[in-house]
Chain A
Amino acid sequence: MAKGLFGAALIVACGVTALAHHSPAAFDRTKEVKLVGTVKEFRWQNPHTWIELLVPDEKGKEVLWGVELTSPTYLIRAGWKSNTIKPGDKVTITVNPVRSGEPSGIFRSLQLPDGRVLTERPARLGTPDSK
């Protein structure tokens, strides 16, 4: 079930602005939505990796969410592999949703069935925590 978690930490979006091929202004960085669902597709690709996640709504109907991630280069630095998730996996993903209310969001974190949590590594900002 999709559940909105409001008032979450405001995230600096600058890195995504230029790393992404599209403007990040479509996403509401002040909101986080936790998605609990089943992976339909995980595409490991440049310039963006993406996840399609089937998430049951309040009535139990499955809604297809699109989750946008950074490029594999930065995911690898954060501990991802191309087989970290696969279709059929039950996962929990937190996103900043698009402002329009459509089932789409930009990735914040992934919780795997074994409890491990993966995030993204920010693009190379020249700061100690991003190299």
Chain B
Amino acid sequence: MRRSAAILVIAALVSASCSPAPQQSPAAPAADPPLEEGRQLSALAPANLAKPRPKPPFDLTGNWFVDVSENPEAWRFGPPYPRLTPAAQVHWDAARKYAAEGKVYRDDIGQCWPAGLPLIMTRFWPMAMIQLPTAIYMISGFMNSLRIIYLDGRKHTDPDLIVRTFNGESIGHWEGDTLVVDTIGFRGDHHWMDQGGVAIPAGEQLHIVERIRMVGDQLEIEYTMTDPEYWEGEWKSTKRFNRVIDEDIQEVSCLPDLNEHLQSTRSKTQVLQ
């Protein structure tokens, strides 16, 4: 009995070692495990990436920098500014008053809060954009701020579940030669629409629609922004971006020792509240 058992074990091992390896095709998309009910395939899930989709009219993968060649202030989204509500006018007036006194009102970006949308798009740092069939990943050279525009047909997250952020939740779809991006879900505190003497808050009701297209070699984004808490009607602004081919983004963080050594951010010029 003992001998026959040993023969069986050896035979099994030999059989296993001589069996051909399972054939794997590197081109075949990996099978994703089944989704739980109510879950969304990740934008990076192979099965999502492999879904058949129309070819997009352009690929904006690259590094981009706002075009301020004709107007050095073109990084701002105004003037013109919309008619402000009383809730925003308080901040606008305070910023003007303190500016006249040589002070800086509520410069939250300077205190290491994220710039957030829309300002993050026009910092004087390159914005790396990587376009996939399911999403566009944007990483700003400014504080490496991450923005994702989903292109895979998903809907906005349930308002009761959404985690509010400074760049919001962006969902895009193609309309002819234009990518239309709808963004909501913003943080409504420490979030501003401008900087440097102009204080207009961005609230939780902020809604931004971007119409993105290529115009020659430039990327054009037409912004339509509403926030009934802080301004009336639609705030419109159009930005152009140039490709940057000689510069990559770097690791950039607002580290605890940054402002410790930038005395202006801690000086008496700062009005933090």
Contact = CB atoms under 8 A, between A and B. Distances in A.
Given A47-B254, A126-B68, A21 B196 contact: no
A48 interface: yes
A25 interface: yes
Interface centre among B67, B73, B195 (most CB of A within 10 A): B195
Interface in B259-273: 259, 261-265, 267-270
Contact of A14 (B72, B109, B258, B259): B72
A109 B73 CA distance: 24
Contacts of A14: 68, 72-73, 75
Nearest to A100: B268
B110 interface: yes
Contacts of A25: 99, 102-104, 107, 196-197, 269
A130 to B, nearest CB: 9
Contacts of B242: 126
A47 B258 contact: yes
A22 B122 contact: no
Contacts of B107: 22-23, 25
Interface centre among A25, A45, A104, A126 (most CB of B within 10 A): A25
Contact of A104 (B142, B244, B252, B267): B267
Nearest to B95: A25
Interface SS, B side: loop
A41 B75 CA distance: 33
B263 A102 contact: yes
Given A21-B112, A48-B258, A98 B72 contact: no
Interface in A57-87: 66, 68, 71, 73
B251 interface: yes
Given A66-B261, A104-B263, 15 more contacts: A12-B72, A18-B75, A18-B122, A18-B123, A21-B142, A22-B259, A23-B110, A25-B107, A26-B104, A26-B264, A26-B270, A98-B263, A100-B102, A102-B267, A106-B264
30 contacts: A14-B68, A14-B72, A14-B73, A15-B72, A15-B124, A17-B75, A18-B122, A19-B125, A21-B142, A22-B109, A22-B259, A23-B110, A25-B197, A26-B103, A26-B270, A27-B264, A41-B261, A46-B251, A46-B253, A47-B258, A48-B258, A52-B261, A66-B261, A66-B262, A68-B263, A68-B264, A100-B268, A124-B124, A125-B68, A126-B67
Interface of A: 12, 14-15, 17-28, 41, 43, 45-48, 50, 52, 66, 68, 71, 73, 98-100, 102-106, 123-127
